[in-house]
Amino acid sequence: MRFDKGDDVFLKGQKPREVFFNLGGVLLNVETNRVFQGGCTIGQDDILYQRDRLHTVVAETECITMRMDKEDFETMLKEYPDIKSKFLEEAGVRSQMERTNKMIRESIYNKEGKKIIKKFNEYTLEKHLESMPQQNSYSLKYKDYVFRKSNEFVLKDKRLRNGQQHLWSG
Protein backbone atom coordinates (compact mmCIF):
# COMPACT_ATOMS: atom_id res chain seq x y z
CA MET A 1 0.00 0.00 0.00
CA ARG A 2 1.22 3.48 -0.81
CA PHE A 3 0.60 6.53 1.39
CA ASP A 4 1.31 10.10 0.35
CA LYS A 5 2.63 12.66 2.80
CA GLY A 6 -0.19 13.64 5.18
CA ASP A 7 -2.35 10.57 4.51
CA ASP A 8 -3.90 8.87 7.54
CA VAL A 9 -2.73 5.29 7.99
CA PHE A 10 -5.24 4.77 10.80
CA LEU A 11 -7.14 6.97 13.24
CA LYS A 12 -7.47 6.95 17.01
CA GLY A 13 -10.65 5.17 18.06
CA GLN A 14 -10.97 3.00 14.93
CA LYS A 15 -11.40 -0.76 15.17
CA PRO A 16 -8.10 -2.38 14.16
CA ARG A 17 -8.51 -4.26 10.91
CA GLU A 18 -4.88 -4.63 9.87
CA VAL A 19 -1.20 -4.42 10.71
CA PHE A 20 1.21 -2.43 8.54
CA PHE A 21 4.83 -3.25 7.78
CA ASN A 22 6.61 -0.05 6.75
CA LEU A 23 8.83 -0.91 3.80
CA GLY A 24 10.03 2.64 3.18
CA GLY A 25 9.29 6.19 4.21
CA VAL A 26 8.43 7.81 7.53
CA LEU A 27 5.21 7.38 9.50
CA LEU A 28 4.34 9.49 12.56
CA ASN A 29 2.22 8.78 15.64
CA VAL A 30 0.62 12.20 16.10
CA GLU A 31 -0.14 11.73 19.83
CA THR A 32 3.34 10.62 20.93
CA ASN A 33 5.45 12.01 18.05
CA ARG A 34 6.99 8.56 17.68
CA VAL A 35 8.52 8.08 14.25
CA PHE A 36 8.36 4.79 12.33
CA GLN A 37 11.10 4.36 9.73
CA GLY A 38 11.23 1.63 7.10
CA GLY A 39 11.32 -1.81 8.73
CA CYS A 40 8.84 -0.99 11.52
CA THR A 41 5.58 -2.78 12.22
CA ILE A 42 2.61 -0.54 13.04
CA GLY A 43 -0.76 -1.34 14.58
CA GLN A 44 -0.04 -4.76 16.05
CA ASP A 45 -0.49 -3.72 19.70
CA ASP A 46 -4.15 -2.86 19.16
CA ILE A 47 -4.82 -6.30 17.71
CA LEU A 48 -2.76 -8.06 20.39
CA TYR A 49 -4.67 -6.30 23.19
CA GLN A 50 -8.02 -6.42 21.33
CA ARG A 51 -8.68 -2.70 21.69
CA ASP A 52 -9.59 0.23 19.47
CA ARG A 53 -6.73 2.24 18.01
CA LEU A 54 -5.07 4.30 20.75
CA HIS A 55 -3.23 6.60 18.35
CA THR A 56 -3.49 8.23 14.97
CA VAL A 57 -0.66 7.43 12.56
CA VAL A 58 -0.03 9.54 9.46
CA ALA A 59 2.50 9.44 6.64
CA GLU A 60 5.21 12.00 7.30
CA THR A 61 6.71 11.28 3.86
CA GLU A 62 5.61 9.16 0.94
CA CYS A 63 5.51 5.60 2.31
CA ILE A 64 5.27 2.09 0.97
CA THR A 65 3.75 -0.42 3.37
CA MET A 66 2.69 -4.02 3.32
CA ARG A 67 -0.74 -4.58 4.84
CA MET A 68 -1.75 -7.75 6.68
CA ASP A 69 -5.38 -8.04 7.69
CA LYS A 70 -6.31 -8.84 11.27
CA GLU A 71 -7.36 -12.44 10.62
CA ASP A 72 -4.11 -13.31 8.81
CA PHE A 73 -2.08 -11.62 11.55
CA GLU A 74 -3.91 -13.56 14.27
CA THR A 75 -3.43 -16.82 12.32
CA MET A 76 0.30 -16.10 12.02
CA LEU A 77 0.52 -15.50 15.77
CA LYS A 78 -1.23 -18.82 16.50
CA GLU A 79 1.05 -20.73 14.15
CA TYR A 80 4.24 -19.02 15.42
CA PRO A 81 3.99 -18.50 19.19
CA ASP A 82 7.62 -17.31 19.35
CA ILE A 83 6.71 -14.37 17.10
CA LYS A 84 3.66 -13.65 19.25
CA SER A 85 5.80 -13.62 22.41
CA LYS A 86 8.24 -11.16 20.79
CA PHE A 87 5.39 -8.85 19.76
CA LEU A 88 3.92 -9.05 23.28
CA GLU A 89 7.32 -8.38 24.89
CA GLU A 90 7.90 -5.30 22.72
CA ALA A 91 4.33 -4.10 23.32
CA GLY A 92 4.88 -4.40 27.09
CA VAL A 93 8.06 -2.34 26.91
CA ARG A 94 6.33 0.35 24.83
CA SER A 95 3.38 0.40 27.21
CA GLN A 96 5.68 0.84 30.22
CA MET A 97 7.58 3.63 28.45
CA GLU A 98 4.33 5.43 27.62
CA ARG A 99 3.16 5.20 31.26
CA THR A 100 6.54 6.52 32.46
CA ASN A 101 6.48 9.39 29.96
CA LYS A 102 2.93 10.27 31.00
CA MET A 103 3.96 10.38 34.67
CA ILE A 104 6.93 12.62 33.80
CA ARG A 105 4.73 14.98 31.77
CA GLU A 106 2.17 15.16 34.58
CA SER A 107 4.82 15.81 37.22
CA ILE A 108 6.27 18.65 35.15
CA TYR A 109 2.92 20.41 35.22
CA ASN A 110 2.22 20.03 38.93
CA LYS A 111 3.55 22.51 41.49
CA GLU A 112 6.27 20.27 42.93
CA GLY A 113 7.53 19.30 39.47
CA LYS A 114 7.84 22.96 38.49
CA LYS A 115 9.86 23.67 41.65
CA ILE A 116 12.28 20.85 40.87
CA ILE A 117 12.73 21.98 37.27
CA LYS A 118 13.17 25.60 38.36
CA LYS A 119 15.86 24.65 40.91
CA PHE A 120 17.68 22.49 38.38
CA ASN A 121 17.60 25.24 35.76
CA GLU A 122 18.71 27.90 38.26
CA TYR A 123 21.65 25.69 39.23
CA THR A 124 22.50 25.12 35.55
CA LEU A 125 22.31 28.85 34.84
CA GLU A 126 24.50 29.63 37.83
CA LYS A 127 27.18 27.21 36.59
CA HIS A 128 27.03 28.71 33.08
CA LEU A 129 27.30 32.24 34.45
CA GLU A 130 30.27 31.31 36.63
CA SER A 131 32.11 30.10 33.56
CA MET A 132 31.34 33.20 31.47
CA PRO A 133 33.00 36.62 31.72
CA GLN A 134 30.77 39.10 33.56
CA GLN A 135 28.73 41.44 31.40
CA ASN A 136 25.62 43.50 32.02
CA SER A 137 22.91 40.93 31.45
CA TYR A 138 22.62 37.24 30.66
CA SER A 139 19.72 34.98 29.99
CA LEU A 140 19.50 31.26 29.51
CA LYS A 141 16.70 29.76 27.43
CA TYR A 142 15.74 26.28 28.54
CA LYS A 143 12.70 24.63 26.99
CA ASP A 144 9.71 26.79 28.01
CA TYR A 145 11.46 29.13 30.41
CA VAL A 146 14.05 31.87 30.47
CA PHE A 147 16.16 32.37 33.57
CA ARG A 148 17.90 35.69 34.01
CA LYS A 149 20.97 36.34 36.11
CA SER A 150 18.75 37.71 38.88
CA ASN A 151 16.99 34.30 38.93
CA GLU A 152 13.78 35.78 37.59
CA PHE A 153 11.56 33.07 36.16
CA VAL A 154 9.64 34.08 33.02
CA LEU A 155 7.93 32.23 30.21
CA LYS A 156 10.00 31.85 27.06
CA ASP A 157 7.28 33.22 24.80
CA LYS A 158 7.59 36.68 26.37
CA ARG A 159 9.96 38.95 24.46
CA LEU A 160 13.45 39.33 25.88
CA ARG A 161 14.59 42.80 26.68
CA ASN A 162 17.28 44.45 24.56
CA GLY A 163 20.83 43.85 25.70
CA GLN A 164 20.29 40.32 26.94
CA GLN A 165 22.71 37.79 25.54
CA HIS A 166 21.53 34.22 24.95
CA LEU A 167 24.01 31.69 26.26
CA TRP A 168 22.16 28.57 25.22
CA SER A 169 18.91 27.66 23.51
CA GLY A 170 17.29 24.27 23.88
The answer to whether 3 touches 25, Cβ cutoff 8 Å, is yes
The H or E element containing residue 79 is helix 70-79
Tell me the angle at which helices 111-131 and 81-109 cross, rounded to the nearest 10 degrees: 80
Q: Name the pLDDT band for 131 (thresholds 50, 70, 90).
A: low
CATH number assigned to the domain with residue range 2-109, chosen from the 4 options 2.30.29.30, 3.20.20.150, 2.60.120.10, 3.30.420.40 = 2.60.120.10
Q: What is the DSSP string of 49-64?
A: TT----S-EEESS-EE
What residue spans define the domains of the chain?
A: 2-109, 111-166
- At residue 75, the pLDDT reads 94
pLDDT tens, residue by residue, 10-48: 999 999 999 999 999 999 999 888 899 988 999 999 999
pTM over 0.85: no
